[in-house]
Amino acid sequence: MFKFVLIAGLVLSTAFTARAEEIDPVRIVDAATGDWDGDGRADLALLVAPEDSASDDQTGLYIYLRDSDHELLRLSLSAPNKIWGSTSADGVFGQEPSLKPAGKSVAIHSQNSAIGRDRWDQTLTVAYRNKQFVVAGYTYNHYDTLDPNAGGTCDYNALTGKLQKNGKDIKAEPRVIPITQWNDDTGQAVCGQ
């Protein structure tokens, strides 16, 4: 009986794990290639819309690295519900997330340049360090469409601690923040927003 329960548990565990890693191709909204781990071979980053279109507009980030023994991509990072943005074909223009290679890092851009008086854009730079994907940088710009004096900029290099707010250098501590632990509130706290 114990063997049956153990085998059934392993089968169910494997089924749930496999399901969690499946990505429906129609949900892929952006992709970028680059050498994220510095091994000289092309890797892949994907932004994937949430399964439920009625969810809170949090897009998933998935990063694949080349297998060291084969020329095959292997899932290295799974961060569902990580990046804010509209991914619906009927969605609002000016709220789409995107990504692009930035050297050995990947830059993830999100924005609200369409709705309300508070407009903003941010870029989250993710780098591969010590066998994990961490936030290397965070850039945030915001403005008010009705008040030209209400707005600002923030650029934070998390790895060095260099922080520039509204063009002025401010002392900050370097931090190693795995992307899986990041949320926009973390960036807002660093920038004092």
Question: Rounded to two decimals, what is the model's pTM?
Answer: 0.81
Per-residue tokens: 186: 């973390």
Do residues 112 and 94 touch, judged by C-beta distance below 8 A? Answer: yes
Residues 130, 133, 135, 140: what is their CA dihedral angle, to the nearest 10 degrees? Answer: 160
Q: What is the pLDDT of residues 93-136, one digit of tens each?
A: 778 899 999 999 999 999 888 888 889 999 999 999 999 999 99
Q: Within a domain: residue 5?
A: no
Q: Within a domain: residue 7?
A: no
Q: Within a domain: residue 15?
A: no
3-state secondary structure of 133: strand
82 CB contacts (<8 Å, ≥6 apart)? 58, 59, 60, 61, 179, 182
Q: Within a domain: residue 9?
A: no
Q: What is the pLDDT of residues 59-88, one digit of tens each?
A: 999 999 999 888 899 999 999 988 888 777
Q: Within a domain: residue 1?
A: no
Q: Within a domain: residue 16?
A: no
Residue whose C-alpha is closest to residue 65's, from 104, 103, 92: 104
Per-residue tokens: 121: 């854009």
Q: Within a domain: residue 91?
A: yes
Q: Within a domain: residue 2?
A: no
What total of structural domains would you count in the chain?
1
Range of the domain at 179: 26-191
